[in-house]
Structure 1
Amino acid sequence: MLTAAVSFALTAAGVAVAGLRAYRRRYLSATRWFAVALLPAGLYLTGLFPVARTIGSEIADWATALVFDPRVWTGIALLAVSAGLLATTRWVGRRAVDHAEPGPAATGPAPARPAVPAAPARPPAGKAGKAGKTGKADKPAKAGKRDDGLGGEFADIEEILRRRGI
């Protein structure tokens, strides 16, 4: 009986606050207060308060067993070992894949990337692209240009695109 009285009192208080918010023309806030105000009455009428009490009691029993029962600590240790093994095998698997792929510089250290991108290659004299037709010469790369970290990796592709006028 006390649970019912408290539930409906909380609902009435929430509806009153929602009414004050609506009176002040704060309709969005009033709607939120009204929605929250309906929760205690709804929980009581559906019988979920005893369920919440049971769940709280079970969590308290589990926490007490966690502190004092060595069997629970053994289970936690097993879970930690399992997580550690899974993480280690994943890390080792990724390293094995990285080392298994032979790169172009697999025989020695990686070549250093230039600090400034290389100047664009000029097309052969007989096969001038659009720049040869208009009479404008290709401009060399600006010295102050920011290095995007790609270095000469895309130089071949850029050269092909320039030759085709793209």
Structure 2
Amino acid sequence: MLAETICSAVSAAGLGIAAITAYRRRFLAATRIAAYSLVPAGLVLAGAVQWVVDTAFSPSAWLGFGLLGAAWLLFMTTRVVERRSTGTRRERKAAAAARRAGAESGAATPALGSSAPEAGAPRSRPKATAADDFSDIEAILKKHGI
């Protein structure tokens, strides 16, 4: 009964504020305020407020929410464990496949003394020296007049 009274008072106050806003010729804002202020009254008339009050003060409802939370926690825990185990399984399969591919192509690889680079090997860039790094910095400083 108290919740319905509070919601009705909030609706009445909101409609009053909407009337004042409309008096100031801000009709769009007044319409928006009126729409928001009608929501609590609509909830009271629909019975949603009484349902919420009954649910909030019901121990069996809180037990039900607790069970739903526990079920959600178990579900998420199993998903995390499954992802971790699936990820390690995938890594193990990929490593085994790489070892097999390396063993099969081992006879076709050139000897260590060969000077020809492998086709799939990434090319290394020449290492930058400290002088190269400082020349870039000097160029930037000169560009900005420092």
Superposition TM-score, scaled by structure 1 size: 0.44
User: Relative to total residues, which structure has the larger helix share, 1 or 2?
Assistant: 2
